[in-house]
Structure 1
Amino acid sequence: MLAKRIIPCLDVKDGRVVKGVNFVNLRDAGDPVELAALYDREGADELVFLDISASVEGRATMEEVVRRTAGEISIPFTVGGGISHVDDMKRILRAGADKIGINTAAVRNPKLISEGALRYGSQCIVVAVDARFNDAWGEWEVYTHGGRTPSGIKALEWVKEAERLGAGEILLTSMDADGTKDGFDLPLTSAVSDAVTIPVIASGGAGTKGHFYDVFTQGKADAGLAATIFHYKEIGIPELKTDLKNRGVEIR
């Protein structure tokens, strides 16, 4: 079994880290470069940087912030938001990212996954999936544009297709759980983990150390991603890792 990873997420809007609940009511959480450096020092395994308004505003990811952030850290760094062409991937990788996160653009043009994987390797392509439970379907639906737009696509079908096209990892966010701190969406995470063979990063709902234990054991996730609890120092990464190790979870 691969060791589980702890990944802080930097949702960036207008050059600042922000956090909300269920993708709305955003509040300021600090400077992305300073936070990235702090998490590197604290022992985070990776970082995810999401320019959350890039796809909505139709602009490219803030390259300069990526460059400055990459210069401060030594851990792997995934960047997403506004990446819609292979040339965008090249630009962001050159700015210092290790992996590329794609969401809206991949749903619009699934070939972007295979094109990116062919040029840069599957390990470099992270397909981000924002999912919400659709009562009429009795299963989860993929949303795009920062959680604003329902796609009409079933999440379990989409993650299988993403893997088939060459994605190396799935970054799965439960829109129902996002920011609630009531725990990860275990049914969703478990269903997606069972549907694919590539690693699944669970996101949305972390509020306690026990929630990470649950998502690794019951949800079968390979990594746990969180923002609010880390940004506002409700849980420290060293203490979280110690707790998980004490409960028998293999951690990096």
Structure 2
Amino acid sequence: MLKKRIIPCLDVKEGRVVKGVQFVSLRDAGDPVELATFYNEQGADELVFLDISATVEGRDTMEDVVRQTASTLSIPFTVGGGIRTLEDMKRMLRAGADKVSLNSAALQNPSIIKEGADYFGSQCIVVAIDAKWSAEEDTWMIYTHGGRNRFERSAIEWAQQVAALGAGELLVTSMDGDGKKTGFDIALMTALRKVVNIPLIASGGAGNAEHFYEVFTEADADAALAASIFHYKETSVQQVKDYLRNQGVAIR
């Protein structure tokens, strides 16, 4: 059985880490390089860096900040935001990323997933899905451009296509839970687990160590990602890991 992973996330805007609630009301959380160093020392299993305004502003990911952040790390590092082409992926990997995360670009051009997987290997390609429950459609629908635009596709259908195209991992953010600290979206993750067998990273809603336990044991997520509870020292990676070990969860 693969061991579960705890992953802090750096949402970066204009060179600073920010965090909000349901993708709005962003507030400053610190310097990405300093936070990356801190999480590396804290025992995080991986780190995710998302340039959250790159796609909206139609620009490339901040390569210099990525390079500086990567230079502090000894753990796997995923970079996303503004990655649209194979060349963009090459730039990020050269800058120090171990994996690249695709979101809006993959929806607009799904073949980029297969291109990336064929060229770099599936283990390098993470597809991020920002999902929100729709009572009208009775399923979770996808949103793009930092949660601004609804894409007329269900998260479940898209996840199946993404897996078939060769993605190595899915990073799934519940927009309903993002920043609320009420727990991960167990229903969403369970529904996805039923249709794909590639690793699933749960994101959105972490408020305490018990929430990590729930998503690992009830939804069989492979990893869980959090931001604000770690950035603002409400708990630590080590405290979450200690709790999970005490509960019998196999973690790294």
Tell me, in whole angstroms, the C-alpha distance in 2 between the residues paired with 1:235 and 1:112.
38
Residue aligned with 1:179, SS: coil
Deviation at 1:109, TM superposition (A): 0.3
Deviation at 1:201, TM superposition (A): 0.2
Tell me, in whole angstroms, the C-alpha distance in 1 between the residues paired with 2:219 and 2:25.
28
Residue aligned with 1:10, SS: strand
Tell me, in whole angstroms, the C-alpha distance in 2 between the residues paired with 1:19 and 1:194.
31
Which residue of structure 2 lines up, in the alignment, with residue 227 of structure 1?
Answer: 227
Which residue of structure 2 lines up, in the alignment, with residue 5 of structure 1?
Answer: 5
Q: Give the partner amino acid of 1:244.
A: L
Tell me, in whole angstroms, the C-alpha distance in 2 between the residues paired with 1:111 and 1:209.
38
Matching of residues 21-36 of structure 1 within 5 Å: 21-36=21-36
Residue aligned with 1:45, SS: coil
- TM-score for both structures, normalised by structure 1: 0.99
CA deviation profile, 1:158-191 (whole Å, cap 9, x unmatched): 0000000010000000000000000001000111
Which residue of structure 1 lines up, in the alignment, with residue 77 of structure 2?
Answer: 77
CA RMSD of aligned residues (A): 0.4
- Are 1:248 and 2:251 counterparts? no
Residue aligned with 1:114, SS: helix
Matching of residues 120-159 of structure 1 within 5 Å: 120-159=120-159
Which residue of structure 2 lines up, in the alignment, with residue 119 of structure 1?
Answer: 119
- Are 1:215 and 2:183 counterparts? no
Deviation at 1:23, TM superposition (A): 0.4
The alignment-based identity, stated in percent, is: 63
- Are 1:162 and 2:197 counterparts? no
For this pair of structures, how many residues does the alignment match? 252
Q: Give the partner amino acid of 2:75.
A: I
Which residue of structure 2 lines up, in the alignment, with residue 53 of structure 1?
Answer: 53
Which residue of structure 1 lines up, in the alignment, with residue 68 of structure 2?
Answer: 68
Tell me, in whole angstroms, the C-alpha distance in 1 between the residues paired with 2:61 and 2:193.
29
Deviation at 1:196, TM superposition (A): 0.5
Tell me, in whole angstroms, the C-alpha distance in 2 between the residues paired with 1:19 and 1:38.
17
CA deviation profile, 1:187-243 (whole Å, cap 9, x unmatched): 001111221110000000000110000000112100000000000000111111010
Deviation at 1:148, TM superposition (A): 0.6
Tell me, in whole angstroms, the C-alpha distance in 1 between the residues paired with 2:224 and 2:43.
14
Q: Give the partner amino acid of 1:229.
A: I
CA deviation profile, 1:31-80 (whole Å, cap 9, x unmatched): 00000000000000000000000000000000000000000010000000
Tell me, in whole angstroms, the C-alpha distance in 2 between the residues paired with 1:230 and 1:118.
35
- Are 1:190 and 2:186 counterparts? no
Which residue of structure 1 lines up, in the alignment, with residue 86 of structure 2?
Answer: 86
Tell me, in whole angstroms, the C-alpha distance in 1 between the residues paired with 2:235 and 2:195.
31
Q: Give the partner amino acid of 1:127.
A: V
Unaligned 5+ segments in structure 2 are: none
Unaligned 5+ segments in structure 1 are: none
Residue aligned with 2:17, SS: strand
Q: Give the partner amino acid of 2:44.
A: A
Tell me, in whole angstroms, the C-alpha distance in 2 between the residues paired with 1:111 and 1:174.
25
Identify the range of structure 1 (17-26 vs 187-196) with the bigger mean alpha-carbon deviation. 187-196
Tell me, in whole angstroms, the C-alpha distance in 2 between the residues paired with 1:217 and 1:109.
34
Tell me, in whole angstroms, the C-alpha distance in 1 between the residues paired with 2:194 and 2:206.
21
The list of structure 1 runs, each at least 4 consecutive aligned residues, that deviate by more than 3 angstroms after superposition, is: none
Residue aligned with 2:72, SS: coil
